[in-house]
Structure formats: C-alpha cells, structure tokens
Amino acid sequence: MKSRRKIGIVLAFVVLLATAISTTVSAVNPSNPIITEVYYDTYLKGDTSGEFIRIHNPTESSINIGGWQITDRVGIITFPAQANIDAGDSLYLAYNATVFYDEMLQNADFEYGEDSDQTLNMNKWGWGLRLNDDGDEVILKDIEDNIIDVVVYGNSDYTGTGWIGTPVKDIKPGVIMERDRNETTGQYEDTNTSADWGDYRVYVVGQSHFSYETFSFNGNVTVFTSPDSSFIEIANAIDNAQESIYLNVYEFHNFYLMDHIINAIGRGVDVKVMLEGGPVGGIGDEERYIANKTVAAGGTVRFMINNKSEGIYDRYAFNHAKYALIDNKSTIIMSENWKNTGVPTNNTFGNRGWGIIINNPDVTNYFSEVFVEDWKPASRDSFSFTANDPVFVNKYGTPPPDFVPDRTVPTNNYSHPFDSEIISGTFHVSPVLAPDTSLMQTKSIIGMIKGAESSVYVEQLYIKKWGSSADSKPNLFLEAVINASRRGCEVKILLNPTYSFESNQATIDYVRSAAANEGLDLDAKFIDIENTGLNKTHNKGVIVDNSKVLISSINWNEHSPANNREAGVIVENEDAAGFYTDVFLYDWYAVASPCGDVNHDGAITSTDAAIVLGMAVRGKYDADADVSGDGRVTSFDALMILQAAVI
C-alpha cells in the first residue's frame, strides 16, 4: 500500500510540476527584467517620499534599459541612457534616495520623485510617478513602448496586457509587496497573476532576507533542557568565553546569569546584549537593572524599539529570539528567556524548555550575520541603553532609585531527571529564522513535518487558530502535523494548561475530533504540571522520526512566524533527537503515580525496573526511581520495583 501511495504522490507531483513549468514559460519571456518589489504604502498616510520599486534581471546577460519607462497610467519616469542591469542583479528606484537609505540602510540606484541626490535622477513626465495607497499599477515598458512586466494591486481596475485576473490584495502600511520565489530553484515566480505575490511571509520594510541553509559537520553538541540543566550549561558557556558573547533574547531577568556576564566583561570579553524594547507587560525593572549593570561594567545593550511619536517603527513586531554566540565558535539556541522560570538557578523549579549548544563555526557565523543585521546601530529601531537618557529614561533607562533586586531563588518539587549530554557524531543543522525561513512549504519546519515517516511529537506553549474570528485560516504547522498522521505517522501534541487555556482546549478538541472521525494515531493533551512539578511548558519544539528535532523560540500562532524575529535550529542526529524524545515522553506520560512508576504510565511494571537499572548504570537520579529513599538510584531500587511489579 505504501509503495502505491508513493507512486501516486510522485505522479501527481510530476503533473503539477509540468503544469507549473508550462504556465511559467507561457506567462513571461525569461529574457526580460521583472518587477520584484513595490513599496507603495508607507507608515505615514499620504506620504510618498518613502516609496520605492525594485527591478530584477533574471537572465544570464546584462541588459541596457536606457530609455525604458515605468508608469501607472498617470505618471511616467524614464531611465537615463546609461541605465544597465547586470545579470542576476537588481536596481532600486526610490522616490527619495535619502529616505530610502534611512529605511533600508543601502543606497538607491535611481531617484524618481524628489531631488535629494542629483546624480540619481530619472526623467519625469507630468507629475512623475506617485503610487496610490488604495490601488494602482506599476507598468514596465521598453524603449519601443512594449509592455515588459505589470504589477496590479488594491482597487486598480487595470485589465490590459501583462496581467491576468484580480489585483494583488492591499497590504498594511510599512509592508513591501514582494514577488515570491520558488523554494527549489530560487527563481522568481511569474505567471502575471496575483498568485506571484501571495507568499505567507510578511515583508516589512527594513527586514532581513536570510536564506535557508544546512550545515553538515562531524563534531559535538550539548543537549540540555529546562529546568534540569539549562542554568549550569549557560553559566559554563559564559564562564568559558574568551573573546565575545553576543546575546539576543526577548527578556533577561535572571540576576545570577547577569553575575556571570559581568564577570566575563571583567575578563575582557566583548559582550553585546540585544533585547526587545516592548515586551508584553513592558520592560521590567529587573531587566533595566541588568542592562544598567552590564553597561556600567563595560558591555553594550541595545533594545529593538517602536516609537511612532518619534517616527521609529521596529522591523519586527517582537524581537522574540533566544540565542547566544560564544567566541564565534558556539551557538546556544533555546526556547526560553533568561528569566528565573526559563533558566532557573535551582532546577527543582521552572518551565519545561529545550536548549542546545552547537559547537560549529559555520553555524555560529550564520547566526553572527543575523545578530549583526539586527543589532546595527544605524537602524532607527536599534536603541542603545543609556542610563539617564533625557527622552527615554523612564522606559529604557535605569530602574527607580529605590529598586532592590530580589535574589530569592524559587524552588518546587520537580525531580530534574535529565542531565545535559555531550553528543558526538555527524550532524546536519539548519537554522530557522522568522520571518525569513519559518513559513517555507518544502523546507524548514513544515518541510520537516511533511517528510515525517513514522512519528511526530510536538510540545508547545500553545497552538492557536490563524486569522481573525471572521476570517479563520488553517494553522499551517498544525495542519502539517495532522496530515502526517493521515500518512500513517504516530502523532502526539502536548500543550500547556495555564496559558491560553481556551485556545489550547479548542486545539485539543479539534485534534481529537479528527483522530476519532478518521481513525488516526493522533492525540493532543495538556501536560500535567502538577505531577511533574513544572511551572509550565514554555517549549516550542518538534521531534520527527526520532531523528530530527526543532529547538526554537517560534510559537505556533500566526503572528510569531510571520511578524517576529525568531530563531531556531533543526538538528538531524538520532542521538540528539533521542535525548529530546526521552524528555518529551517523560512529559507526555506524567500522571499521578506511585513511587517506582518512572515512566509515569500509572502502573509499576518490569519496564520501570529496566529503566531504573539503566539509570543506576549511568549514575542518574530520579526521585520516583529512588524507591529505597537513600538518595541514590541503584540496582537495589530496580529489584524492589521488579518485586512490586510481580506481586
């Protein structure tokens, strides 16, 4: 049955591919330039100064476009005689070159509206070109007045040459209308329809465009989980840093991690910390205190901010990533913020989260480029912490003078059975960035799930429906998981009960209904935080086929992958995935159970005895396995459990 199913899928794919190829070939002459970006609706209503257009040459030859025109059927701009587009290159045409640089931090090639740079001027006819926010068209013509490419958007009524069907849907202010690329070939899609502009990603002005890459290497990684071993692993990484620590994290509240950071600065380590300038609930006094101490010690702290009254618009809705780079050699990726719950000092208390340290310079270099891009001081939304800043002191400066840091270390009854492990072998590591690569359909998260053959385990803080109540959309991540179960995969989804309860309950009901109606090996439920002793599951992880694992900061709502700066990695290695599988199944089977029921399935069996014997051999401790109560896990505990099972 599986082979016939695979053959059918392959045949269907071939038919679709052939259709796509024929459509593309018939729709456009590949020897011509195309329009790939249109920024028509700036943050300021009615302000055209920030508008720009990007023209791309997809061919293997340079093309002279001197005398070519762009028009919206009202205004006309003409390229000067020397205008040229190199093979595979692009030209940016800005209404105002100075404003364009402020937004994009790169130079425009031509200027067609104002005269901020006389060397870049295009010839203007009539009123020149001013794009309408509500709807318009951008028409590219060659020197002989032939229409080469057309883009139609909003409420435009254009029905002429070069466009088929309805216009591209209107977009929000600050968003660039950008042409889609084929994920396999990297080529721009061009069917002369709105489908060419329907990517799931939202392209806000100033955002990055990092590509999806996979790094393969022989080496080692350190796998760990919160609350069990996250603090000790991060503290050790900080203490071992010799040159640099670059940290990008949504929130930083842990004073004990701050101590390690300040000690590193004292050793001469270059420390840069990037934080979110507007987290939900605002910036806490704890974080302002930590920022002040870090800067006073010699480090640098910046916030990614949004302040419309000052004309500052952040590139991402939230800087929600959680990663650190050590000495340009190691990358720490986590699901957790650097808070007492996310990286707890005492491991009997805290959130369930996953983390990994990847010791590979290529992976670290990739994330270093991301960090530099987000950090760049020239960007208006990258705001440097200044203790007594005259404008923003009450928001981004020092805490109130009477603030006293609370260094109380919370504790609970979590048994912390999972020590960190150093795993050596062959690894394939693929960074995942939101919004750059998080919503790809054939690669990244969805591609990993679509490739599942036997199992998909998901542990999330929450899974919400996408779209508004009036315009509900499928959650692409969740639907990919459910479709995996339809292919015969075992699927388990574990959610948190204390945050977004109603959304998670609705997801559980939806999943269980699909399982019952279709007879699927599919289930979803809440983690039992009472019996585990966990604060909550704050995780954002996926395990596929016990061989691939996603560790990330990406929540499964629509907002997180489409609008936030998020970071994660997909790691392909059976031992690494096996570690997180053990943690996941521990959380999944956590129920009220007697001492000795170490797999938390509600019964004491010979399986528990075998697990405990393995713990004894590896020197691991778990309170449920310590049946004798002597503070150790030994073969004697395994024997007692076996006797209880027999009886």
Per residue in 162-177, pLDDT (tens digit) is 999 999 999 999 999 9
Q: Do 274 and 372 meet the contact criterion of CB atoms below 8 Å apart? A: no
Per-residue pLDDT tens over the stretch 363-403: 999 999 999 999 999 999 999 998 887 667 678 889 999 99
- Establish if 406 belongs to a structural domain: no
Q: Are 98 and 111 in contact (CB under 8 A)?
A: no
Strands (E), 389-451: 421-434
What's residue 246's pLDDT? Answer: 98
Same domain (yes/no): 479, 499: yes
Last residue of a domain, one of 137, 167, 197: 197
pLDDT of amino acid 635: 86
CA-to-CA distance for 164 and 167, rounded, in angstroms?
8
pLDDT tier for residue 42 given thresholds of 50, 70 and 90: very high
> CA-CA distance, 93 to 110, in Å (whole number)?
5
Contact indicator for 583, 418 with CB cutoff of 8 Å: yes
Do 286 and 388 belong to one domain?
A: yes
Residue 403 lies in a domain: no
Is residue 455 included in any domain, yes or no? yes
How many distinct structural domains can be found in the chain?
A: 4
The answer to whether residue 210 is domain-embedded is no
Q: Are 134 and 170 within 8 A, CB to CB?
A: yes
C-alpha separations of 449 from 217, 452, 485 in Å: 23, 5, 10
Highest-pLDDT range among 444-458, 469-483, 592-606, 618-632: 444-458
pLDDT at 628: 79
The answer on 583 and 447 residing in a single domain is yes
* The pLDDT of residue 432: 98
Check whether residue 505 and residue 542 sit in a common domain: yes
Predicted confidence (pLDDT) per residue in 344-367, tens digit: 999 999 999 999 999 999 999 999
Average predicted confidence (pLDDT) for the chain: 90
Cα angle value 218/571/499 (rounded, 5°) = 150
- Give the domain-ending residue among 166, 197, 228: 197
Is residue 424 assigned to a domain?
no
Which CATH number fits the domain that encloses residue 315? 3.30.870.10
Same domain, 17 and 37: no
Which pLDDT band, with edges at 50, 70 and 90, does 127 fall under? low
Task: Report CA torsion sign: 277, 280, 286, 290.
Answer: negative
CATH of the domain at 103: 2.60.40.1260
Do 483 and 387 share a structural domain? Answer: no
Mean pLDDT in residue range 523-527:
96
**Domain enclosing residue 237, as ranges:** 215-396
Residue located via tokens 């396999």: 184
- Taking a C-beta distance cutoff of 8 angstroms, is the pair 239, 260 a contact? yes
* 569, 579 Cβ separation under 8 angstroms: no
Cβ-based neighbours of 498, under 8 Å, separated by 6 or more = 529, 536
Same-domain check for residues 223 and 313: yes
Residues 483 and 517 both lie in one domain? yes
Peptide bond into 594 cis (omega under 30): no
Region 559-566: mean pLDDT is 96
Tell whether the torsion through CA atoms of 336, 339, 340 and 343 is positive or negative: positive
Percentage of residues of the chain with pLDDT beyond 90 = 76
Residue 181 pLDDT greater than 50, yes or no: yes
Would you state the pLDDT for residue 469?
65
Residues 185, 167 share a domain? yes
- Please report whether residue 405 resides in a domain: no
Give domain status of residue 36, yes or no: yes
What does residue 322 show for φ and ψ, rounded to 5 degrees?
Answer: -145, 80
For residue 462, what pLDDT is reported? Answer: 97
Place of tokens 């028409």: 139
- What does each C-alpha distance from 16 to 7, 9, 476 come to in angstroms? 14, 10, 21
Q: pLDDT tens-digit profile of 450-505? A: 999 999 999 999 999 898 766 778 999 999 999 999 999 999 999 999 988 899 99
Residues 6+ apart with CB under 8 A from 642: 606, 609
- 131-144 per-position pLDDT tens digit: 999 999 999 999 99
Claim to verify: residue 518 and residue 615 sit in the same structural domain: yes
Whether 34 contacts 149, CB under 8 Å: yes
* Residue 395 confidence (pLDDT): 82
Q: In this structure, are 159 and 306 located in the same domain?
A: no
Q: In terms of domains, do 115 and 2 share one?
A: no
pLDDT above 50 for 29: no
pLDDT exceeds cutoff 60 at 30: no
User: Model's pTM, two decimal places?
Assistant: 0.87
Could you tell me if 554 and 568 are in contact, meaning their C-beta atoms sit under 8 angstroms apart?
Answer: yes
Of 197, 228, 258, the residue that ends a domain is 197
pLDDT at 161: 95
Structure confidence at residue 124 (pLDDT): 76
- pLDDT band at residue 642, thresholds of 50, 70 and 90? confident
